């Protein structure tokens, strides 16, 4: 059951409307890291997660994200309530589509379901969610740096804070499954290269725990695959080249 209350989850009060900033805010309404993406991602994940406690968490956070979507929408509506001709070059999206939020990002690209990461396995879902929260937090930080309006800033700092809380919840859920530090999940066992790491960018190398023991570090990786068979293409041009010779590889 969905039941909407008209009061906002948290206060949203814009002091000085700024249509251009309203356009930036679209990033968190109809953009990849935005609240619609988060709300729909966690909500749809809840349909295929068997664990009741994690399903409950996903539903709680999904609905909080819908609250955030409403707050960002109200911010955009207040920032674009008065667009006169002087703002036309600053906020062209609102001149064309009218004031208020639209499911576009700050560049005018339409929201797309390809932003949503979900499916198959709850570990995959929760790891994707940590990434989503990181993206949302970073976008909010960029937005906070671009506004001087105190009311806007207060709302955005709250929204940024909540994304940190959500990331923490998803990390705790993975930890409770023993999957925060264990990269393996699912039902297909890895092959014997699972502990091998390659040095594939030469010059001024740096090492860290990601390529020290118990990892097996390959300092000078060599190709293991041999030469692949040449392509077979019945439609390709069959003309013979003149002046072509095979040359032995130069010794190093
Ligand atoms: Mn949010
Ligand atoms: Mn969140």
pLDDT of residue 150: 98
Q: Determine the distance separating the centroid of ligand 1 and the alpha carbon of 158, expressed in angstroms.
A: 9
Q: How far is it, in rounded angstroms, from Cα 139 to Cα 99? A: 22
Q: Determine the distance separating the centroid of ligand 2 and the alpha carbon of 236, expressed in angstroms.
A: 53
Q: Determine the distance separating the centroid of ligand 1 and the alpha carbon of 60, expressed in angstroms.
A: 12
Q: How far is it, in rounded angstroms, from Cα 216 to Cα 183? A: 16
pLDDT of residue 96: 85
Q: Determine the distance separating the centroid of ligand 2 and the alpha carbon of 111, expressed in angstroms.
A: 18
- Nearest ligand to residue 57 Cα: 2
pTM, rounded to two decimals: 0.91
- Nearest ligand to residue 159 Cα: 1
Q: From the first residue on, what is the mean pLDDT of each consecutive set of 10 residues in the chain (252 residues)?
A: 95 93 97 98 98 98 98 96 64 87 97 98 98 98 98 98 98 98 96 97 95 97 96 94 84 54
- Nearest ligand to residue 167 Cα: 2
pLDDT of residue 95: 82
């Amino acid at each position: 059951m969905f039941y909407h209350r008209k009061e906002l989850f948290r206060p949203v009060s814009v002091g000085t409307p700024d249509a251009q900033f309203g356009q930036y805010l679209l990033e968190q309404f109809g953009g990849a890291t935005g609240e619609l993406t988060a709300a729909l991602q966690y909500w749809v994940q809840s349909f295929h997660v068997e664990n009741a406690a994690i399903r409950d968490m996903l539903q709680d956070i999904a609905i909080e994200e819908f609250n955030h979507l409403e707050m960002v929408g109200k911010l955009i509506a207040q920032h674009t309530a008065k667009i006169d001709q002087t703002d036309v070059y600053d906020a062209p999206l609102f001149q064309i589509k009218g004031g208020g939020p639209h499911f576009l990002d700050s560049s005018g690209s339409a929201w797309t379901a390809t932003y949503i990461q979900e499916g198959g396995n709850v570990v995959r879902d929760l790891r994707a969610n940590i990434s989503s929260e990181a993206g949302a937090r970073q976008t909010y930080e960029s937005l906070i740096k671009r506004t001087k309006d105190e009311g806007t800033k207060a709302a955005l700092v709250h929204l940024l804070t909540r994304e940190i809380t959500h990331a923490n919840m998803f990390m705790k859920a993975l930890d409770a499954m023993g999957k925060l530090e264990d990269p393996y999940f699912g039902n297909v066992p890895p092959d014997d290269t699972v502990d091998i790491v390659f040095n594939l960018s030469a010059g001024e190398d740096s090492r860290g725990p990601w390529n020290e023991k118990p990892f097996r570090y390959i300092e000078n990786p060599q190709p293991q695959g041999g030469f692949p068979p040449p392509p077979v293409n019945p439609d390709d041009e069959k003309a013979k080249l003149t002046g072509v010779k095979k040359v032995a590889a130069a010794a190093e």
